[in-house]
């Protein structure tokens, strides 16, 4: 779970994502030879062009579990907007903290959160436009990516759940 070294990769926006993924996979292959038992994970935001890396990792390591995740903090941004628009001012029930804790420690948390948000969405009134918009965006984001939001299992394997180190570069 602790970073030992950072390698930076870059490419123009118009570059082939597969070529960049190939460069990354070559380095991961080298790392795996150095530490054969190391867990293998891929944390990204949800851009469709980013599928190239996890697909390349899965091809390069056919019998190995490649844990794929959507960045934890991206999900929390959607949930924070739901809290801001749907909860009483100041979040007196600490819903954002509850979301964060549940997602960190329970693999089924995203399923329960999704069901709860769907149920709450049906009770929002038409004049609650900001809340309805935030809820719809969060539900759409989760619906498309729910299998990639099993953060507790990744943490148990010593894998990071956020892409902050990548994004900060």
160 within 8 A of 2, measured Cβ to Cβ:
no
* Residues contacting residue 115 through CB under 8 Å, at least 6 positions apart: none
pTM for this predicted structure: 0.86
Per-residue pLDDT tens, the chain, 169 aa: give them: 566 677 788 888 888 989 999 999 999 999 999 988 888 989 888 777 778 888 999 999 999 999 999 999 999 999 999 999 999 999 999 999 999 999 999 999 999 999 999 999 999 998 899 999 999 999 999 999 999 999 999 999 888 898 776 565 5
Q: What is the dihedral of CA 67, 68, 72, 77, to 10 degrees?
A: -170
């Amino acid at each position: 779970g602790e970073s030992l070294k950072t390698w930076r990769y870059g490419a123009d926006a118009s570059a082939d994502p597969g070529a960049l993924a190939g460069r990354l996979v070559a380095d991961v292959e080298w790392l795996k030879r150095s530490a054969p038992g190391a867990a293998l994970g891929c944390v990204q935001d949800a851009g469709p062009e980013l599928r190239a890396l996890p697909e390349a990792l899965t091809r390069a390591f056919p019998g190995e579990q490649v844990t794929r995740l959507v960045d934890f903090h991206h999900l929390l941004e959607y949930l924070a907007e739901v809290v801001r628009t749907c909860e009483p001012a100041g979040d007196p029930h600490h819903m954002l903290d509850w979301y964060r804790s549940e997602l960190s420690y329970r693999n089924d948390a995203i399923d329960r959160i999704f069901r709860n948000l769907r149920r709450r969405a049906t009770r929002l009134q038409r004049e609650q436009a900001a809340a309805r918009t935030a809820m719809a965006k969060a539900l759409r984001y989760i619906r498309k990516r729910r299998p990639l939001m099993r953060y507790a299992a990744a943490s148990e394997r010593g894998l990071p759940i956020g892409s902050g180190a990548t994004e900060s570069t």
